Structures are given as structure tokens and as C-alpha cells.
Amino acid sequence: MIEEKMLVLLRQGKISKWFSGIGQEAIAVGATMAMQQDEWIMPLHRNLGVFTGRNMPLSKLFMQWQGNKEGYSKGRERSFHFGSKQHHVCGMISHLGPQLAIADGVALAYKLSNQQKASLAFTGDGGTSEGDFHEALNVAAVWDLPVIFLIENNGYGLSTPTNEQYRCSSLVDRAKGYGMGGVQIDGNNILEVFDTIKGVREYCIKHQKPYLIECMTFRMRGHEEASGVKYVPPHLFEEWETKDPVKNYEHYLTRQNILSQSQIEDIRKETKAHIESELAIAYQAKPMLVDTDEEVNDVYAPHKQQITTNHTPATEKRFIDGIQDALRLSMQKHPNLIIMGQDIAEYGGAFKITEGFVQEFGKDRIRNTPICESAIVGASLGLSLEGYKAVMEMQFADFATVGFNQIINNLAKIHYRWGQNADVVVRMPTGGGVGAGPFHSQSNEAWFTKTPGLKVVYPSTAADAKGLLIAAINDPNPVIYFEHKALYRSVSGQVPNDYYEVEIGKANIVQEGDDITIITYGAGVHWALDYAKNNPQISIYILDLRTLLPLDYDAIEEAVAATGKVLLLHEDTLIGGLGGEIAAWIAEHCFTYLDAPVMRCASLDTPIPFNIELEKHFMAYSRLAELVNKLMRY
């Protein structure tokens, strides 16, 4: 009845979009009723029954669908793309598949904390073709997680029929390939859905295993209302009309003398009155008042750093040791911190940063992962839903491409969308100079610096590597932490022995000067220092950004004003590199300080080559002297 009312409102222009679950209501309702109220569910478009089954106030749901600020996403999301921590409902993203891996993370949290709970994730028949489906099921099986994967097979992925989507006879057949149990059921029989999921939930908890359920059903309307149903043969509607889950359940209840027809009519009248009264409340929602400060501030979860300046004695340590110190101390401080990545346990990671950690902290907390970056980023977010912290190591920053969707669309946006933080750090071994070629040497930080909701950190010293990583782990927001591979064992310095944070968003003046300013980060800091040492006749002001998102604009302005001549130096390629953004900001806000055009020194706009001589030529450092001289001539 809610759906029918929403279709009326859609025609009246009072809502903008609606994904109808008419014809397959029994799945969402039965599944939600079979789970405990405090167990996380990851629903999709047609799962209204999840939201009503969790007793979310109908008036607030109406406000959500109307785009009111008093809805669950402050008007920032549409239809079912929202969640509620209070109700243990995780908001979906349009990419569908990533929801499954979040359920893995929640189930891992249940497992680690010995809670007798399971998580449940919905997918459609179309979504099972995505790589995220494979990754999530494989991780759940390998890690023995209590998670239920529920496929709503309604015959169509938008307009594409199942015979054009897969060749297995039934989707549940895939369960065996992942080493888990599976069952296909009548998704239009609410009692069968409820009984099956109730039993599967008990199985998952008792045996600490995942399970796959394929619910056969049919949607009686379009993928969403605008798409229509012309692509569906008419006889299918006639066939499935006889299997309508609501009507058939009503008939069952009357045949069993549980309800009379008059009682059913009374329920309908009560429901209609409730819908209208809740809608009347929703109509009283205040008009949207746009507040720029609120919009910007809600991108990140609130967090105040604990910065200490008085440190205990320091020890000479390498860059890599600073990272290792930060991880070890953080693991000791936070019992809820989990580190995940490929080969990080007994092997100690590709760069041996976590060597010995598994003996100290155990395999529950130092977790080897299958090669499935997307699923592990998603699982990290799932852990965050249950109050855990996660550090996920990309074996190489280049491999972030296969986890890009989770980082950009789930981690980065989740707090802005519905107030859920993502307490996740993604470690990114990055950069060239080691002759590793195009797939192990890219500088890809600019991919992430344009994404609101992420914090991007890039240390250049051992002390900053430690302090920034500790700060990143303490920050409840998603942090992409770049660590340059060429600095691991080539750079060392005095590192305080205690547990401390370096402020995220605060640049560092490496040295002051009068002639030119070099603004840089990472390996660029050492290039600039080396050049300054070899050219003492030039007084060079060097600013180490340290954090690339958010940028320290005050420090940038101060650095520009110090000399009036600015060179932006980074290892990333020129076009689309962060230097272009900073140059534009300087031109807009610091023009009166400038005595010369802002210049950029960056690597060639080519993939990074393997041959050492080609790589040297590729690197920005090979053009640093030329650009400094050009700038000095102004």
C-alpha cells in the first residue's frame, strides 16, 4: 500500500524516482523479519520491506523520498540510496556489487567479537555478474564468515533477461564453487522465505560459515517507473500475477481461519489511515535552506587531533621503520584495529613492513587476503560499521584501480550521504626510481585528491611517516596514505620513540629562503633538498605539503609570499597532477605576491618506463635544474 501511494505521488511530481518492489515484497519482508533487529542488512532498490521491517518512521521515509532535509540523508540522496546506523541498514550505492563486501566486514566484526550474529546482503540476478559478487563470496568462504548472500532473481537486470546474463542453470549453483552451502527457494512465499532465512541464519552463526540463497521472483513493474515494461512478454505478467505474494498470503491466512476478510479490510483501512497521517507529517517538513558551511563540514566526520610537541628521546630510524613503529604502536593501543592485505601475515608483506606482526598480534588481526582489492576495501568499511578500525595495504598503489569504486563511491561519500563514518586507512606503496615499470611505479595520488570525503597523506621523512600514520589510524575518516617505495630504506632520521601524531592538513617548512619557493611532497622534498645543497648560491624556500587533501592553504600562501617565485615539484605526470590545482589557487589568491609565473616541474606525460635510463628521463627531477634556472631569470 505504501508503494501504491508512492506511485501516485510520482505521477503528481511530489517524488522524482521510484523503484517498485511490487511482486517481490515477500523477500525483503521475510528476510528482515528472520534477522535480529540489531543485525546489519545491506538492501538494494526494491527492498522497501527492509526499511519498514526495521520500523523506520514512515513520515521520515516520506521526507527522504521527497528530498527533505529532515529525511535520512538531509536531501543528499534519492530513493533507497541511504542508510541508518540506528536501524542497522547500510545505504546502497548504484554500483550494486560493493554492498556484498561490506556484509563481509560486518560479519568479520561479529566473528572477532564473538557475537552470535550474522549479516545479510541483497543482490539481484544482474549484480551476480559483477566482480564484487565473486570477490565477496570468495572472501566470506575463505574467512568462514557468518554472512547470508541473498539473490533476488526476478528474471531481468533492468531489461536484460537472465538468458543473456549467465549460462549456469541456476545462480545458486555458484555456491558450490565458492565452497559454501546454497539453496533456491520460492521468493514469493513469505513463509518459505522467513523459514529458510531463519534456519540459514542459525546455521551461519553455529558453523561460522556463509550461505547463498537464490529467491525466484518477478517484478511486476519496470526497473524503475520511467523504464517501463515493454521488453517483458505479456504472458509473464499473467503467469506471475497468480503468484502474487501478498494476495496468496492473504488467501492462506483466510483458509487457515487466522484472518477473516473483514479483518483484512480493517487492516487495510488502518494502514491507509496510517500512511495518510504520516504523509501529512512529511508535508510539514520545512523548505530546504542551503547552508554552505554545513554542506562542506558534513563531508568529514568530526575529529579533533591530539597533537603533542614534547617527545621522549628519539632514535635514528629509516622511513620504513617509522611506518612499522606506527603500525605496531597503533595495534597495541587499539584492540579493535585490524590490518589486512596480500601476504602481510607470515610473509611480512611485499616490503616486510609487517614482518613479525602475526606472531605478536595473531592471524585474526593480521589478516592475509585473497587477491581481491575491492572486497577488502569493502570489508574494511563493514568493520567500521561495527566500530572497528581497519588498515588495508594495497600491495602497490597501482593496484588501487581494482578497488577504486569502493574507495571513491563508498568510503569517500558515506559520511556525507547518511552520517556513517569510514574508519579506514588504505596504505599505498607508491612511486618510481626502483625500475619496476608501468604497473608498480605510478604516482596516482591525484586520482584521489579530487574526491571529497577522502584525506590524502604523503610523508617524506621517517618521523612524519610515523606521526602521520598514527594520526591517520586515529582519524575516523578514510585516509589514503601514500608511502614512497624508494624512500623506505634510503631515507632515515631522528624518530621520537613515543606514540605521537603529526597533524593531518598541516604542511611543514623544510627550510626558508629568499630567491625561490619549491612546493613539493614525498620524494620531491629530497630532490629539492639535494638541489639546494648542490646550488648554495640560490636561497630556496622548501615547503613539504605532507597532506594533499585537505591542503594547507595558509602555508602555501606564506611560502608564495616569502619569495614571489614559485615552482611546484612532484613526481606525478604534468597533466592532471596536483601541481596544476595548486598553481591555479596561487594565481587566484596570491597574484599580488608573484614576481614570475607559477611553474611546474613534473614527470613526462607517459606511462612510467622500466629501463633505468628511460625512467630517469621520465622523472621530474631530470628537469628540475632547467626550471629553477628559468624561474630565476625572471
Active site amino acids? 440
CA distance 558 to 593: 10
CA distance 218 to 71: 30
The amino acid sitting at 310 is N
Contacts of 426 (CB under 8 A, 6+ apart): 377, 380, 391, 392, 393, 394, 400, 403, 407, 411, 478, 479, 480, 481
305 close to 550: Cβ distance less than 8 angstroms: no
- Cell of residue 204, nine digits: 551461519
Q: Residue 240 carries which DSSP code?
A: H
- Cell of residue 253, nine digits: 491466512
Longest dimension (CA), the chain: 98
What stretch of H or E contains 278?
helix 261-283
Sign of CA dihedral 334, 340, 341, 344: positive
The amino acid sitting at 26 is A
Q: How far from each other are the two terminal CA atoms of the chain, in whole angstroms?
A: 74
Residue 115 DSSP SS3: coil
371 close to 342: Cβ distance less than 8 angstroms: yes
What stretch of H or E contains 206?
helix 190-207
Number of H helices, E strands in the chain: 24, 21
427 close to 380: Cβ distance less than 8 angstroms: no
Which residue in 556, 616, 617, 612 sits closest to 587, CA to CA?
A: 556
Q: From residue 236, how far is each of 187, 226, 423, 453, 603 by CA, in Å?
A: 16, 20, 46, 45, 59
595 close to 478: Cβ distance less than 8 angstroms: no
Determine whether 268 is exposed, middle or buried from the number of CB atoms within 10 Å of its CB (0-12, 13-18, 19+).
exposed
Q: Buried b vs exposed e over 1-16: b needs ≥16 C-beta within 10 Å? A: ebbebbbeebeeeebe
3-state secondary structure 537-572: CCCEEEEECCEEECCCHHHHHHHHHHHCCEEEEEEE
How many other CB atoms are found less than 10 A from the CB of residue 335? 11
CA distance 352 to 324: 9
- Is-cis flag, bond preceding 550, omega within 30? yes
How many other CB atoms are found less than 10 A from the CB of residue 233? 10
89 DSSP β-pair partners: 41, 84
Edge-to-edge strands of the sheet including 211-216?
41-42, 119-124, 147-153, 211-216, 181-186
CA distance 193 to 174: 20
- Cell of residue 45, nine digits: 532498490
119 close to 39: Cβ distance less than 8 angstroms: yes
Show the beta-strand stretches assigned E in 431-507.
455-457, 479-484, 492-496
